[in-house]
Structure 1
Amino acid sequence: MALLLAGDIGGTKTILRLVEAQVDQTETAKSSLFEQRYVSRDFPDLVPMVEKFLQEAQQATGQSFAPEKACFGIAGPVVNNTSKVTNVGWMLEGDRLSEQLSIPKVSLINDFAAIGYGILALEPTDLHVLQQGQPKENAPIAVIGAGTGLGQGYLVHDGTAYQVFESEGGHADFAPRTELEFQMSRYLLDKLNIERISVERIVSGQGIIAIYQFLRDRDFAKESPEIAEIMHTWNSEIGREKTVDPAAAISQAALEQRDHLSEKTMQMFIDAYGAEAGNQALKLLPYGGLYIAGGIAAKVLPLMEEGSFVRSFQLKGRMRSLMEQVPIQIVLNPQVGLIGAALCASRL
């Protein structure tokens, strides 16, 4: 059996996993012979990280490992099997990695392409249904996920299997729908001195902070001392490594219903999230399902369940009946990208 190496590469952390290829590729993707997590900035390049990983795998298991295929999901664009991991300054080329690591086949894919592969191997327990819809066999599938940024991707069935495609749809224009959203858009244009607002500036972790700042500066509600202190620390660390996460603090305060400003922030965030997911669905008609991944949705599941996401998703005028047919599920398994990288490797 072939030995596969899968990786989930981010600017902060990288997870590597060794798996053994099986006849059932979905089972291959979920199996693990050895797995390790590393701080990306601790290494000048992916090569020494993988070398250390293989050494640690040998020490832990007593076996020597020589992967035959590898796939790495990367948080950023991939062009011609090449990608720059901006936060750590890595320039990764599949051919170079193959040569230096002695792995015959190496594929680099976008992190949301990896998630696209990963959802093909998920179990029902890995998912939470927001809208049952009317699923259709072999219909297109959409993937969207807010985290540090806003990732999007899609899958199309070719008659034999699903083919996975990445997208940079998160950088499309933000489309305000309410007076408050129009005010927020103008606020951000002026504050940031930019010409346009991408949807990622609103539907992401940075978007939660931006919405909060807008509401705070418009005196929507009084700022709590706790969040104020976190925001002050975050602002003072601009240009340096962050020690606080305002988006997480705002989300938690909203979940616990102990801060009106945070609750309104998350309401606007989820409304915008649902609207953008609906925009994606209009373009793809993903009756195979729309899957919500990323680092935020699963963490604020009660807020996602309250209904405003689905209402905004469905609010597409005469197309509402089509939107009601799209199955919507939240991905609960945080390793979906790693699973996807392994599945992609098995197909090389």
Structure 2
Amino acid sequence: MQGASEDGTGLRFPILIGDIGGTNARFSVVLDANSEAGEPRIVQTADFPTIDAAIQAAVLDRSSVQPKSAVLAVAGPVDGDEIELTNCPWVVRPKEMIANLGLADIVVLNDFEAQALAVVALGEEHMEKIGGGTPEPNAGRVVLGPGTGLGVAGLIHALDHWIPVPGEGGHMDIGPRTPRDFEVFPHIETIEGRISGEQILCGRGLVNVYRAVAAADGKAAPFTKPSEVTAAALAGTDAVAEEALSLFVTCLGRTAGDLALVFMSRGGVFLTGGIAQKIVPALKAGNFRAAFEDKAPHSALMRDMPVYVITHPLAALLGLAAYARAPSLFGVQTDGRRWRG
């Protein structure tokens, strides 16, 4: 099927879809309204000077299909004709992409809008439940994912549409609560004097917590990578790493619970991204759920809210594909975020 949808709201096929994170960029092409996303092309953002160069090398130079439109999800707020990514030096310039890449129509979304759309597109076989009751079918939902940064989005159902609510919730404050927190938190690296979600709940945040735990007890902190901390913690070979991951999980539970209250997420809270997938055993250990539910006077409400880890490795691409095929099903506002040639 070539051309736009009959109601005029759709994009012309084939449609390039892209999930642009701080570290990796994932691309695919949706050929028509009846097609799933094609073979994914995954590149590291550091390997290319611009997103245009990445698309050219990863997609256009490797396929005879010439996309006519694009739906791109980027890790950062979408504002104006030059869109800077929060944790990546790329700048998305849709007008230049139209001129350079042969595209006629570009929609740019926040990356966690795409993750929110994926919640609707994915089945339960792509989710691992972390406690709680049965989700209400059309109730509010929250998606959050610790990765290069901390992404957050809401998802609400209104007027027969699923409406993603993007934001920068990963930059909310996180503070100490327990006596041990007050020993560790003074050693956590701050950003302009404060501790935001991204200072704890992301890859470098886990390393920050690991170093802070070590500093609080005057111990060595030899690990420098999140994967090293996670591996040692899950294997039980390093007590500092174990405590760091436990505190990470507790803070993730607190933050997830706060967001669940904001969106009254009786439809579920969804953890996404590679870190969440790798630490499922730690998330099931009990302290995540305890922190999530510890929201007096609403603890009973929180106990009923289900939490899921999205286990599909390319969830955002599936969300983008669902939107590309039938944008009229979703309440995605494109004013100021759509460019036509």
TM-score per shorter chain, which class? 0.7 to 0.9
Q: Is the 8 A contact 1:81 1:109 kept in 2?
A: no
The reply on whether 1:93 has 2:81 as its aligned counterpart is no
**Which position in structure 1 is the counterpart of 2:15?**
4
- What code does the residue aligned with 1:91 have? V
Q: Is the 8 A contact 1:155 1:164 kept in 2?
A: yes
Q: Is the 8 A contact 1:81 1:94 kept in 2?
A: yes
Q: Aligned-pair distance for 1:93?
A: 2.7
**Which position in structure 1 is the counterpart of 2:266?**
287
CA RMSD of aligned residues (A): 2.1
The reply on whether 1:18 has 2:29 as its aligned counterpart is yes
Cα gap change, 1:155 to 1:128, in 2 (>3 Å): same
Cα gap change, 1:259 to 1:116, in 2 (>3 Å): same
Q: Is the 8 A contact 1:251 1:300 kept in 2?
A: yes
**Which position in structure 1 is the counterpart of 2:331?**
none
- 3-state SS, counterpart of residue 274 of structure 2: coil
Q: Aligned-pair distance for 1:12?
A: 3.0
**Which position in structure 1 is the counterpart of 2:296?**
317
Identity rate of aligned residues, in percent?
29
The reply on whether 1:32 has 2:37 as its aligned counterpart is yes
- The separation in 2 between residues aligned to 1:87 and 1:298, in whole angstroms, is 21
Which deviates more from structure 2 when the two are superposed, residues 124-133 or residues 5-14? 5-14
**Which position in structure 2 is the counterpart of 1:176?**
176
Q: Is the 8 A contact 1:151 1:294 kept in 2?
A: no
**Structure 1, unaligned stretches of length 5 or more?**
59-63, 232-244
- What code does the residue aligned with 2:116 have? G
**Which position in structure 2 is the counterpart of 1:240?**
none
The reply on whether 1:74 has 2:85 as its aligned counterpart is no
Q: Aligned-pair distance for 1:101?
A: 2.3
Q: Aligned-pair distance for 1:126?
A: 0.8
Which deviates more from structure 2 when the two are superposed, residues 247-256 or residues 1-10? 1-10
**Structure 2, unaligned stretches of length 5 or more?**
2-12, 328-341
TM-score normalized with structure 2 length: 0.85
**Which position in structure 2 is the counterpart of 1:195?**
193
**Which position in structure 1 is the counterpart of 2:8?**
none
**Which position in structure 1 is the counterpart of 2:160?**
160
- What code does the residue aligned with 1:176 have? P
Q: Is the 8 A contact 1:34 1:57 kept in 2?
A: no
Q: Aligned-pair distance for 1:153?
A: 0.2
Cα gap change, 1:44 to 1:260, in 2 (>3 Å): closer
Q: State how many pairs are aligned.
A: 316
Q: Is the 8 A contact 2:37 2:318 kept in 1?
A: no
- The separation in 1 between residues aligned to 2:54 and 2:151, in whole angstroms, is 26
Q: Is the 8 A contact 1:7 1:73 kept in 2?
A: yes
- The separation in 1 between residues aligned to 2:87 and 2:258, in whole angstroms, is 30
More helix, by proportion: 1
Q: Aligned-pair distance for 1:310?
A: 0.6
- The separation in 2 between residues aligned to 1:198 and 1:305, in whole angstroms, is 25
- 3-state SS, counterpart of residue 300 of structure 2: helix
- 3-state SS, counterpart of residue 164 of structure 1: strand
Q: Is the 8 A contact 1:81 1:107 kept in 2?
A: no
Deviations, residues 29-63 of structure 1 (Å, cap 9, x unaligned) = xx2334322232333322233233444443xxxxx
Cα gap change, 1:8 to 1:193, in 2 (>3 Å): closer
Q: Aligned-pair distance for 1:87?
A: 5.5
Q: Aligned-pair distance for 1:319?
A: 0.3
- The separation in 2 between residues aligned to 1:193 and 1:132, in whole angstroms, is 34
Cα gap change, 1:293 to 1:75, in 2 (>3 Å): same
- The separation in 1 between residues aligned to 2:47 and 2:231, in whole angstroms, is 30
**Which position in structure 2 is the counterpart of 1:235?**
none
Cα gap change, 1:193 to 1:344, in 2 (>3 Å): closer
- The separation in 2 between residues aligned to 1:10 and 1:329, in whole angstroms, is 21
- The separation in 2 between residues aligned to 1:257 and 1:157, in whole angstroms, is 43
Cα gap change, 1:283 to 1:39, in 2 (>3 Å): closer
**Quick one: which of 265, 285, 304 aligns to 2:244?**
265
